[in-house]
């Protein structure tokens, strides 16, 4: 697992790592789902293509995770697998796989209110990429 959950006095954060920044963004997305629901019971029945644009890479990360949070809280879609097909600091396109939330089948853990810019950190060097983002719970 290439993401971990961070402590915060009131809420929590996700730290995700990968061989590239693109991979770290993929891991952060799965990390977000793992905060909301027990991943073990989530199937991969549906594919969706998502496009996110932003002015800078920090904003891209917040918008990307906000997109996934909306898909869950607004439409009931749980994302389990992520493949980012195109990635630049200003635009990304991803194929996500998952299924619709079903009361009873899925074991929810926490309601995430929002993705924040608080102590947001994005790093990339030849050894790999990493992101840190805090969630309002």
Partner 1 sequence: MAKYQKIDDYRYLIPKSYRTGMLTEGLIYANEDLMRQIEKDLTFDQVANVATLPGLVGRSLAMPDAHQGYGFAIGGVAAADLETGVVSAGGVGFDINCGVRLLASPLLVEEVRPKLDALLNQLFRDIPCGTGRSGLVELNSAELDRVLNDGVRWSVESGYGTPSDLEHIEENGCLKNADASLVSRRAKERGKKQLGTLGSGNHFLEVQRVAEIFDEEVAKAFGLFMDKIVVLIHTGSRGLGHQVCTDYLEVMQEGMRRYGISIVDRQLACVPIRSREGQDYLKAMAAAANYAFTNRQLITHWTRKAFERVLGRGELQLVYDVAHNIAKVEEHKVSGTTRKVLVHRKGATRAFPRMRPEIPKDYFEVGQPVLIPGSMGTCSYVLVGTEKAMEETFGSTCHGAGRAKSRHAAKKEISAEQLVKDLKNRGILVKGASKSGLTEENPNAYKDVSQVVDVVHNAGISKKVAKLIPLGVIKG
Q: 118-137 mask for partner 1 (x: CB under 8 A)?
A: x-x-------------x-xx
Q: Which two tokens stand for residue 119?
A: 């102590």
Please select the residue that binds partner 1; options are 63, 81, 87, 89, rule is CB under 8 A. Answer: 63
Residue 111 binding partner 1, by CB under 8 A = yes
Q: Does 36 help bind partner 1 (rule: CB under 8 A)?
A: yes
- Separation CA 44–CA 54 (nearest Å): 28
- Applying CB under 8 A, among 96, 101, 132, 133 the residue interacting with partner 1 is 101
Q: What radius of gyration do the chain's Cα atoms show?
A: 14
Asked if 27 and 20 touch (Cβ cutoff 8 Å), the reply is no
At its nearest, how many Å lie between partner 1 and the CB of residue 19? Answer: 27
Interface contacts to partner 1, rule CB under 8 A = 5, 7-12, 36-37, 55, 58-59, 63, 66, 70, 73-75, 101, 103, 106, 108-111, 113-118, 120, 134, 136-137
């Amino acid at each position: 697992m290439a993401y971990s959950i961070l402590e915060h006095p009131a809420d929590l954060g996700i730290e995700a790592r990968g061989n590239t920044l693109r991979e770290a963004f993929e891991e952060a997305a799965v990390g977000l789902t793992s905060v909301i629901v027990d991943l073990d019971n989530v199937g991969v029945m549906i594919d969706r293509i998502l496009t996110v644009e932003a002015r800078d890479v920090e904003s891209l990360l917040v918008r990307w995770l906000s997109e996934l949070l909306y898909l869950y809280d607004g439409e009931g879609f749980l994302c389990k697998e992520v493949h980012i097909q195109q990635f630049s600091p200003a635009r990304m396109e991803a194929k996500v796989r998952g299924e619709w939330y079903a009361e009873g089948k899925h074991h929810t853990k926490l309601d995430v209110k929002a993705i924040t810019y608080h102590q947001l950190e994005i790093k990339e060097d030849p050894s790999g990429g990493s992101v840190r983002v805090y969630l309002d719970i």
